[in-house]
Structure 1
Amino acid sequence: MTAALYNQEILRLAASVPFDARLPDPQGSAERRSPICGSRVTIDVNLDDDGRVGEIGMRVRACALGQASSALMAQSALGKSPAELADARDALAAWLAGGDGPPDWPGLELFAPALPHSARHPSIRLAFEAVAEAAEAAHQRAPAG
């Protein structure tokens, strides 16, 4: 079953992450770490004038599943509001915990083979947890308009 966890698409995505593309002065940042495997993801965001993610940066030091999840998150996070990112984070956690179907986020169905492997779930959630936290921090920091 382990081979199914690391299919060609997962490995391709893992290799596509901009590992050290942090933002120089982000409005919000968050780091999440998996205590099980030591994977770590740091996400920086800047919000645009509409309060949506306008820029994203990241540093990823994670296993292939964490890297692939980070790549999928980064591919679709631009233009999302902090609330939408929190919803995606929560939907991913619920799905991994046995909920119905993958969240409405492009590509997450690739992680279906990991569903029975709960020890792998924290790595898959890292980027989604960090981006939601970073976006909320940026939102809290934004001046009231």
Structure 2
Amino acid sequence: MGLRLCGVFALILMLGGAGAVAGPSFHCSLKPISGTAWIPSLVSLKFSDDFSHAEVSDAAFGVPVNARVVQHSGTSYALSWTMPGLAVSGDPGRPRPRFRAILNTSNLKMSIQAVWKDLDGKLPRGSGRCQLDQGLSLLAQNGG
């Protein structure tokens, strides 16, 4: 009976914790504001529950990559990620595109910067608005 009770308890913990694994998700529409290098126009961000890491997907390529996340302020997070080289350019000698961004969760705005210089020697920048994925439970939305 003790083993059976332990199995039931483990199942309850597993099912109860399943929803806690996926944190808040955001969908962001971005526009370039400087430079000539490519800035993604649509990105999706899936955070862990504690906002310690995230997965970024660029809608143009649909390739999810892990992003490093650092809390920037009480309501904003700095993210940095690298896109696979083949997703953007087939040129094997070209470096993989890297990006850094700030997501403000209170006003749902994002600023983004490509971390390589364009032809004019500038770091290309962009900005835009984000939407919180409304498919999440209120508990998950309020956790961030």
TM-score (normalised: structure 1): 0.34
More helix by share: 1
Structure with higher Rg: it is 2
More strand by share: 2
